[in-house]
A = this chain, B = another copy of it.
């Protein structure tokens, strides 16, 4: 839109508003007056060759001059202005995707072009948090059908970069999550790369859990690699485990995750689009999906798993990916630790073939590595399991893992939390069930994943017996305040472990 250029000098406000760009202007500044901007208005800012749409917060005291606009960190990073730069302020064009958003909110089906408009506006920060929340909600539950899921996946894929590995199979695995401590990825990548395959793994940070694979891996090696560095690691070692955020394989998904995190939900359609757009963008050709099923896992029943599996398979087919699903036991945590450093300790323990390594984590990593090796081209069906065990027990996987860490920037041994306290059983009996969600909540209240050493250390499993006064689990925290919050919550939720009193 044209109009009289309205200019203000840009300053860095020094305020971190996470990803949403915010601009701070004085109520009486020339731009607010001439453009009629009011609080929460969306403002288009152009400076040099860059532009951003920011949300207006109004300064009511005399801190800012009338010819100056402050930028939040996200807005500053988007514009990267030079010192004392002037910018032009105007009303943004309404986002091109506004009619599609409105249509979806009112329950109508969208086509691929609609999703393309929406994902482009999402990645370009043209939608406000409120609009993004409306989109996420309008797609939740059963509100995206298969064709829409495919459309959303293709749209997410289309607007990001896509890695070309120059031919040959590219393996990958993904767990749909929901199971505390289930940190098989570093072990599987190490085994599969040690077998000579290419497995460039990008992982997310925690969305609603106490740790994502990227959070856990970061305890042991740098994960914030850009695409060029990631390519160098994979060309050298065959595999990597890096954070997907800097690779920007699905930039719209990164924005949507920011909205889903505080809402603490995501839905089948969005999950499939998020996972498969990233796999296709990463150049993967053969993908194994781990779906843990259990009453308090993300996928709670065989029926839900059927529906998710069907949607994954159909969408993968559309994208030309070979995809296989392995359903795993999702009734209880895997490994001892829940939280980045505690999980890293378990991963290393399995790779080092320590006698006290968590057996469930070892077996599950072997199952997944085997299933992935089995779908690789030219694999002899059923040969994967033996190959995986040999590579792990011989130390080849450990060697490969350490080489990957070195290539990513150097290996670091995990440390332990300074504050620890046990949560004790009130009465004895045998363990009947575990509420994964509330156990994860304890780890989150203890500070995970932001505090890397925080979390829960838990060796109790379904079927084990325990006596009153014995520890159910340990809580680990970086600060006394967080330890107390987590213990408070645990005390109020004494039934996280369901203990059946044994018959006399």
Chain A residues near B (Cβ < 8 Å): 1-4, 6, 12, 14-18, 24, 27, 33-36, 38-40, 57-61, 63, 72-73, 91, 98, 102, 105-107, 128-134, 136-138, 140-143, 259, 262-265, 267, 445, 447, 450-451, 454, 478-482, 484-485, 488-489
Contact = CB atoms under 8 A, between A and B. Distances in A.
B39 A18 contact: yes
Contact of A133 (B1, B3, B129, B451): B129
Given A3-B488, A57-B72, A133-B137, 13 more contacts: A2-B484, A3-B481, A14-B63, A17-B39, A18-B39, A34-B480, A36-B478, A36-B481, A105-B265, A106-B141, A107-B140, A107-B142, A128-B262
A484 B27 CA distance: 22
Contacts of A35: 479, 481-482
A59 B24 CA distance: 14
Given A1-B485, A3-B485, A485-B3, A39 B16 contact: yes
Nearest to A6: B481
Contacts of A107: 140-143
17 contacts: A3-B485, A3-B488, A4-B484, A15-B58, A16-B27, A16-B39, A16-B60, A34-B481, A35-B482, A36-B447, A57-B72, A91-B485, A102-B264, A105-B263, A107-B140, A130-B259, A134-B263
Contact of A16 (B36, B58, B267, B488): B58
A486 to B, nearest CB: 10
A16 B57 contact: yes
Nearest to A22: B57
Nearest to A31: B481
A423 B16 CA distance: 44
A265 B102 contact: yes
Nearest to A2: B488
A34 B483 CA distance: 10
A39 B263 CA distance: 15
Of all A-B residue pairs in the complex, the 8 with the closest CB atoms, nearest first, are: A14-B61, A133-B133, A137-B137, A16-B58, A107-B141, A34-B481, A130-B133, A106-B141
Contacts of A14: 59-61, 63
Contacts of A259: 130
Contacts of A73: 60
Contacts of A129: 129-130, 133
A31 B475 CA distance: 21
Contact of A4 (B130, B142, B143, B480): B480
A454 to B, nearest CB: 8
A34 B1 contact: no
Contacts of A484: 2-4
A450 B130 contact: no
